[in-house]
A and B are shown apart, each in its own frame.
Chain A
Amino acid sequence: MATETHGAEPVAESGGLVFHPMDQFIVKPLFGHGEVGMFTITNVTLWLFLAIVAVVLMMVLGTSKRAIVPSRSQSVAELAYGFVYKMVEDVTGKDGLKYFPYIMTLFMFIVFANFLGLLPMSFTTTSHFAVTVVLALAVFLTVTILGFVKNGASFLGLFWVSSAPLALRPVLALIELISYFVRPVSHSIRLAGNVMAGHAVIKVFAGFAAIAAISPISVLAITAMYGLEVLVAFIQAYVFTILTCVYLKDALHPHH
């Protein structure tokens, strides 16, 4: 109730359209109005928890019958399993399958966080850089450490393009080095940026719905945008996962 009265006031003040497209990303405590500390139970906590619930529902309860001829829910879980398993196998090769559970964790989390974020009034955890940067850094650090552990110093061969002319190699090595360190940045911003932009655009269109003449167009635009966002929700999860596989492949087989 409190927030609603708040929201109404600026509308009255400006006497027209009010856009707060970014308000949906605000982190607030779930109970009370205190400071958001590290361990506070916030809307982030709620929607992360719901992502866990969704994963458990689909992957554990869906497969609880262990049927040879799968039920619908079981085939969905098997489909997800096969999808990621094949991705890891195709991109990183057989020796990458050891890391399949980690990649599956990333994929399932991102996919469910994205789709839960599409529910009206929900909070989209993957729209925050804090979340995606943790995911991307986890991948980056794991892959880098793994590369050195598996290959030793020869992991640096990743930056030394031996197929290029000798004169060009130092330049290429510099470029490769920069691109390597840009990886976690692009990896995280791509996901959060896509999700955030789509949600913000939907909110802007929703703001236009306040004008009666424009509202049909606005509703159409929201519908179209929502359809696109459904696509983006899956595609970004897919892109994040397949890039993780690519980075993992570089760590396991650093030589081009």
Chain B
Amino acid sequence: MATETHGAEAVSTCVDSHGSAVGMPQLCGDWIGNQVFWLVITLVVIYFVLARIALPRIAAVLAERQGTITNDIAAAEDLKRKAQDAEAAYDKALADARAEAQTIAQKARDDIKADLDVALEKADAEIAAKAAESEKAIAEIRDSAMANVEVVAKDTAGAIVAALGASADDAKIASAVDAQLKG
């Protein structure tokens, strides 16, 4: 093989008998037709592969992704709004509950106060009645005690007078005792 090629003349004007390039292979006119022919085929094939298959597919994928992202963002926005609404509702419920609790507490306080007032009034009245009754009882007791003292004093005075041997009628003794008691 080696001797065959070696023995043959240079295959083209651009390659010497050793298989090395003569000058710049880029400037070799013999190969231009071949290169251009295959290049054009290559470019056409790549163009059709890209334009018919690859690029529409990638464009579709990118558009779909963009759509998905947009939808997701919209959904997220929606959920966020819902969450905000829920929070507002919760806050409102809380405030309402607090206000109601306040009113209930106030009402309870008022009720208790009213009950207390009534009870106090009643108690006061009872106390006053009891006090009056007691005063009356005391006055009675004092009166009866006074009367008893008079009776005892008259009886005692009568007994003393009798013991001293004098006689005196009851009326005289009574008036004398009365005079003494008043004095």
Contacts and interface: CB of A to CB of B under 8 A. Distances in A.
B19 A3 contact: yes
Nearest to A196: B26
A23 B42 contact: no
A52 B58 contact: no
A68 B39 contact: no
A81 to B, nearest CB: 5
Contact of B12 (A36, A129, A138): A36
A37 B54 contact: no
Given A22-B21, A25-B25, A33-B5, A38 B33 contact: yes
Given A38-B34, A38-B37, A44-B38, A63 B19 contact: no
A48 to B, nearest CB: 4
A101 B27 CA distance: 31
B29 to A, nearest CB: 9
B18 A130 contact: no
A109 interface: yes
B168 interface: no
A20 B53 CA distance: 42
Interface string A97-136: 0001110110011000000000000000101111100110
B90 interface: no
A200 to B, nearest CB: 9
B49 A60 contact: yes
Interface stretch (B59-67, B98-106, B115-123): B59-67
Best-buried of B12, B32, B39, B61 by chain A (most CB within 10 Å): B39
A256 interface: no
A238 to B, nearest CB: 17
Interface in B5-33: 5-6, 8, 11-12, 14-15, 18-21, 23-28, 30-33
Interface size class of A (residues with CB under 8 A): 35 or more
Given A68-B64, A131-B35, A134-B36, A56 B49 contact: yes
A25 B14 CA distance: 11
Contact of B42 (A49, A63, A82, A196): A49
Interface residues of B, number: 52
A137 to B, nearest CB: 10
A40 interface: yes
A51 B47 CA distance: 12
A104 B56 CA distance: 12
Nearest to B1: A2
Contacts of B62: 78, 81-82
B19 A6 contact: yes
A7 B60 CA distance: 53
A87 interface: no
Contacts of B35: 27, 44, 125, 128, 130-131, 134
A10 interface: yes
B2 to A, nearest CB: 4
User: Ordered nearest first, which 6 A-B pairs have the shortest CB separation?
Assistant: A59-B54, A25-B25, A38-B33, A130-B35, A101-B51, A48-B42
Interface of B: 1-2, 4-6, 8, 11-12, 14-15, 18-21, 23-28, 30-43, 45-47, 49-51, 53-55, 57-62, 64-65, 68
Interface of A: 1-3, 5-7, 9-10, 20, 22-23, 25-28, 33-40, 42, 44-45, 48-49, 51-52, 55-56, 59-60, 63, 66-68, 70, 74, 77-78, 81-82, 100-102, 104-105, 108-109, 125, 127-131, 134-135, 138, 192, 196
11 contacts: A1-B1, A7-B19, A23-B21, A26-B15, A26-B21, A27-B34, A44-B35, A52-B42, A60-B53, A81-B55, A135-B39
